[in-house]
Structure 1
Amino acid sequence: MSETTLITTPFDASSTANDVVAGIDLTNRKAIVTGGASGIGIETARALAKAGAQVTLAVRNLDAGKRVAEDIAATTGNPLIKVGLLNLIDRISVASFVASWDGPLDILINNAGVMATPEMRTPEGWELQFATNHLGHFALANGLHDALMAAGGARVVSVSSAGHLRSPVMFDDINFLRRPYDPFLAYGQSKTANVLFAVEASKRWAYDGITVNALMPGAIRTPGVENLQITAEQIAQLEATRTSGLNLLWRTPQQGAATSVLLATSPLLNGIGGRYFVDCNEAGPNVTGTQSGVASYALDPEAAAHLWQVSMDALS
């Protein structure tokens, strides 16, 4: 990947979701934000609503979703905020959400996720982080494919993380059945899967007018991050892989939502798919020993195609 081909924008790490959506009119556009009741999901949904979109918050907790929807409607003056029940590790829940959707879908932001959870598996036997962060969103996006195609020029946004640099998708042992469970390696491969999904979905759905991109939102003090139960050794491991040894730059949720909103709305991204963005710009290749850029294995078309088939098999 040559640096001369990277997509650049006027925005950067300090930009907010409102900055990147300024001047963009989303009236009559429909959007879904998974995990829209907490963290950067709230500010992602708020920015889309401020631009006039009809936004559906896809959430596990309907009461929390309704409270957030009321707040977004009050702060933006946009009453077109809906709430839908969605549990990404429950196939019936995903299918019910898809069945309840009516009409075209312009924007799907796969924002929900879990991080560094204890070792757990779904009833089908899938490791929890992989199942939540990738498989659930994979099922959701595929279920909504026709709605996305009907919109004409729809965009899907896959929220990944610099955590993808910790691990490729280990196809020979995705579920940690033959190796010791490591919560950060499990998180890492699930975030790599988010990028690989963008690569393969963009390839498969290009003729349907659907583009898919992935991103790293930055370090945000979301509830999921604040509640992490990690050991001193794990903290040291995190410190050791930070870019150039610099202190971690914590961003506001509004800044964390900026790249998602940019990928979902900016005319600069028309027709662009299968790429990975950081700080509102396309990331270059990862430099070994740092936490910057994108791993080559996360953009590998063969791995992306393989993951797609594995995911289809898992959901069959």
Structure 2
Amino acid sequence: MPLITTAFDAGSTADDVVTGLDLTGVRAVVTGATSGLGRETARALASTGAEITLAVRDIGAGTDVAKDIAATTGNSAVHVAHLELADLATITRFVDDWDGPLHLLINNAGIMASAPARTVQGWELQFATNHLGHFALTIGLYQALAAGAAERDGARIVALTSGAHMYSPVVFDDIHFTRRAYDPQLAYGQSKTANCLLAVEATRRWAADGIVANAVNPGGVSTGLQRDFTQDMKDHLDRLEAAGVFSYKSVQQGAATTLVAATAPEFAHTGGHYLDDGNEADTVPDDAELAGNSHAVKQWALDPDTARKLWQVSLDLLGH
């Protein structure tokens, strides 16, 4: 099948994508919305009249952001709720407190290349935060999404991934680095592959209910997400940029592909796709060279059998 294309590209901004949209009545949750891409995504959605809930670790920072978004967009329907993706109790409280339909779930929050750390369950922190936390949130909000889909002819889930998914598949034999040496880039890459696979399986399970999920690569954006980068990682990106393989986007440009997946009509009723620069990306073999295919998606991130397996493994880890 031909790739899905839109009018947007690498230079498009969040405002370009939402210009002219009226999303009054749409309810959206954006995780990690106190800074960077999440904040810009929430601001752009609020500018369309949508009702936004900022799901954040820091309530104080979230409240400040909500006030700023309301002031700059004229939309006062911006709420703040506590959510710590590495703490399942906060996810349960968020889900239990949610009332009514949900139309957009933007799984934006994440950590990157962090030092070795584990949750109280013993889970590797990047996988636990980037995948398992969002997985628990997503399945917990299923009924709300189904209600939203019935109300407005569809609900959408957007999973933020990364070109770093190319560094690692989900290593089911040792997801949590209990036997192999911990590598922050491999751990991050594995979690980003998992984000893609969640979109594939959520769509397979829930498309009949009007719910679709897509994964988006925002591209290289300088945000707080890179706070744990080593100098070697920074030097590597500099070399790729010098070679013309990689270039940094502004935060406004980085949020654009998220907004495409969330609002563009081309993705209203189809899911399981990987978007890059506002369009569906090419799929390349698992052994493809990383640098030459940084805007593509590896097969291991979209494989339906792997997606089913990860879903079940995730349920088992969560005790469902």
| TM-score using structure 1 length | 0.95
Matches within 5 A, 1:291-310: 291-310=294-313
Deviation at 1:239, TM superposition (A): 5.7
Aligned to 2:41: 44
**One of 70, 74, 79 as aligned partner of 2:76:** 79
Distance 1:87 1:48, change over 3 A: same
Q: Confirm or deny that 1:263 pairs with 2:261.
A: yes
Aligned to 2:251: 253
**Contact (CA 8 Å) 1:12, 1:280: kept in 2 or not?**
yes
**Contact (CA 8 Å) 2:118, 2:124: kept in 1 or not?**
yes
Separation of aligned partners in 1, 2:175 and 2:277: 29
Matches within 5 A, 1:7-22: 7-22=4-19
**Contact (CA 8 Å) 2:241, 2:247: kept in 1 or not?**
no
Aligned to 1:177: 178
Q: Which residue identity lines up with residue 84 of structure 2 in the other structure?
A: N
Separation of aligned partners in 2, 1:239 and 1:169: 27
Deviation at 1:247, TM superposition (A): 5.8
Q: Confirm or deny that 1:27 pairs with 2:6.
A: no
Aligned to 1:66: 63
Q: Which residue identity lines up with residue 292 of structure 1 in the other structure?
A: H
Q: Which residue identity lines up with residue 275 of structure 1 in the other structure?
A: H
| TM-score using structure 2 length | 0.94
**Contact (CA 8 Å) 1:135, 1:311: kept in 2 or not?**
yes
Deviation at 1:91, TM superposition (A): 0.8
Aligned to 2:124: 127
The RMSD of aligned alpha carbons is 1.4
User: Which deviations, in whole Å up to 9, do the C-alpha atoms of 1:180-235 show, x marking residues without a partner?
Assistant: 1000000000000000000000000011110000010011111121x224143x44
**Contact (CA 8 Å) 1:243, 1:292: kept in 2 or not?**
no
Separation of aligned partners in 1, 2:147 and 2:140: 13
Deviation at 1:268, TM superposition (A): 1.7
**Which segments of structure 1 move beyond 6 Å, counting only runs of 4 or more?**
none
**Contact (CA 8 Å) 2:156, 2:268: kept in 1 or not?**
no
**Contact (CA 8 Å) 2:104, 2:262: kept in 1 or not?**
yes
Aligned to 2:104: 107
Aligned to 1:223: 224
Gap runs ≥5 in structure 2: none
Deviation at 1:167, TM superposition (A): 0.3
**One of 138, 142, 163 as aligned partner of 1:141:** 138
Q: Confirm or deny that 1:283 pairs with 2:286.
A: no
**Contact (CA 8 Å) 1:21, 1:265: kept in 2 or not?**
yes
Aligned to 1:193: 194
